[in-house]
Amino acid sequence: MIVHHFEEIDSTNEQAKREVAQGAIHETVIRADSQTAGKGRRGRTWESPKGCNLYFSLIVRPDIVPDKASMLTLVMALAVTNVLEEISEGKKATCKPKIKWPNDIVINGRKVCGILTELTLKEKAIDAVIIGVGINVGKQKFGPELTDKATDMETEWGIRLSCDELLGNIINAFRQYYTVFLQKGSFEDLQEEYNRLLINRGREVCVLEPSGEYRGIATGINEKGELHIRLPEGGETYIYAGEVSVRGIYGYV
């Protein structure tokens, strides 16, 4: 693994794209102490103050079809949650980390980590996948629109984790899950572990589609990483992360 560490950068995902264009190798990590234009999903910004959080992007060059690239976001969510769960067990923390489908990591009902995956293509095949991860590590004040939705590890667990250690452990965990994912090119052997950590499992969710909203009970993901929803009228459906998102009925999760 190669790590390029910047004090400040626009966005580690953007820097990763520049490095991909220059031929960056598989498992190059771009890390920054702060970002001036941190990006979130759906065109949102990702607040990236200096000195308290972990911001990094991992470049991988998998031999898979572009349609499957979004599953790597779920692989990273598994890796981060697993590492945080191990820490929580060591520290005897009562609030365990969970995954809000598809890839937010939450503690105590609030988000501590977001993941943004981007693709670069060459002749319709994957050139590289860039998996950007932001983890709220140190105590911080969130803007009014985020106070109910976001939190940080220090507030939840009363400890300041080392970003260096966190990064090393996450990359190691990712490597293991990534190997399992590539063996079948699917979530077949990972879905049980993912569903164990899924906070939406068995809960009522509101599915937000471009064409409208509906409610159902989330039961878990399938081997494609799609979320299975039981509909109130007795039917069922699978939802795909690229097109829709879910919201809890009584709050963020």
Q: Can you give the binding site for ligand BTN, defined by CB under 6 A?
A: 11-13, 35, 38-41, 44, 46, 55-57, 104, 114-116, 132-134
CB-nearer residue toward ligand BTN: 104 or 152: 104
Shortest separation between residue 205's beta carbon and ligand BTN, angstroms: 17
Nearest residue (CB) to ligand BTN, 55 versus 187: 55
Of the pair 13, 191, the CB lying nearest ligand BTN is at: 13
Q: How far is the CB of 8 from ligand BTN (least distance, A)?
A: 13
CB nearer ligand BTN, residue 39 or residue 98: 39
Of 18 and 91, nearer to ligand BTN (C-beta) is: 18
What's the min distance (Å) between Cβ of 217 and ligand BTN? 24
Q: Nearest approach, Cβ of 166 to ligand BTN (angstroms)?
A: 13
Listed in sequence order, the residues at least 6 apart from 155 whose beta carbon sits closer than 8 Å to its beta carbon are 139
Point out the residue whose Cβ comes nearest to ligand BTN. 114
β-sheet bridge partners, residue 205: 216, 248
Q: Which is nearer to ligand BTN, 104 or 156 (CB)?
A: 104
Could you tell me the smallest distance in angstroms from the CB atom of residue 242 to ligand BTN? Answer: 14
The CB-of-134 to ligand BTN minimum distance in angstroms stands at 3
Token couple for 140? 């911080």
